[in-house]
């Protein structure tokens, strides 16, 4: 289900240039609004509507990461503490992702002006999400090659 939702979201948002990661990693109103101004109104609508796919995707990828960590042996060679941290890394990434999405929805639909801290918090949440996803994937790749070798 995670792959299906991710694919649907990628196809649906493929016309956005710059892409969604660009707006996710903005930390100020100037950066955020600069990305929005590069999109046509129809593309801004695509961004707004992509959250209908993104929220279910969050649940799927967080659950998948937890289940991979707990129910497969992929991380078996790591210490107990490392396995526990990896098991919660994607669920914590989901929390950061949900915070980021919620803040972006407020910034898109709310009545401004908005505090700079809201833009900064959304950027930090996105950065946290991406770092945790990267760590999980890097450890999974390392574990796979380590097991194969």
Q: What would the mean pLDDT of 100-111 be, rounded to a whole number?
A: 96
Task: Identify the pLDDT of residue 149.
Answer: 56
55-104 tens-digit pLDDT = 999 999 999 999 999 999 999 999 999 999 999 999 999 999 999 999 99
- Give the count of domains, the chain: 1
Print the domain residue range for 65: 2-148
Task: Identify the pLDDT of residue 53.
Answer: 93
Task: Identify the pLDDT of residue 148.
Answer: 63
Listed in sequence order, the DSSP H helices in 18-115 are 20-24, 29-38, 41-71, 80-109
Q: Please, what's the b/e burial string for 37-64 (b: 16 or more CB within 10 A of its CB; e: otherwise)?
A: eebeeeebebbeebbebbeebbebbbee
6-63 tens-digit pLDDT = 899 899 899 999 999 999 999 999 999 999 999 999 999 999 999 999 999 999 999 9
């Amino acid at each position: 289900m995670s792959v299906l939702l991710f694919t649907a979201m990628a196809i649906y948002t493929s016309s956005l240039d710059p892409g969604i990661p660009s707006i996710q990693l903005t930390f100020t109103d100037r950066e955020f609004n600069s990305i929005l101004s590069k999109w046509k109104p129809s593309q801004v609508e695509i961004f707004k509507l992509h959250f209908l796919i993104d929220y279910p995707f969050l649940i799927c990828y967080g659950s998948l990461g937890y289940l991979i960590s707990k129910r497969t042996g992929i991380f078996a060679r790591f210490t107990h503490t490392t396995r526990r941290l990896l098991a919660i890394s994607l669920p914590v990434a989901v929390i950061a992702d949900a915070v980021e999405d919620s803040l972006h929805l407020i910034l898109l639909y709310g009545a401004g002006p908005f505090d700079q801290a809201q833009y900064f918090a959304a950027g930090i949440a996105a950065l946290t999400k991406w770092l945790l996803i990267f760590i999980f994937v890097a450890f999974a790749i390392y574990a796979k090659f380590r097991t194969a070798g």
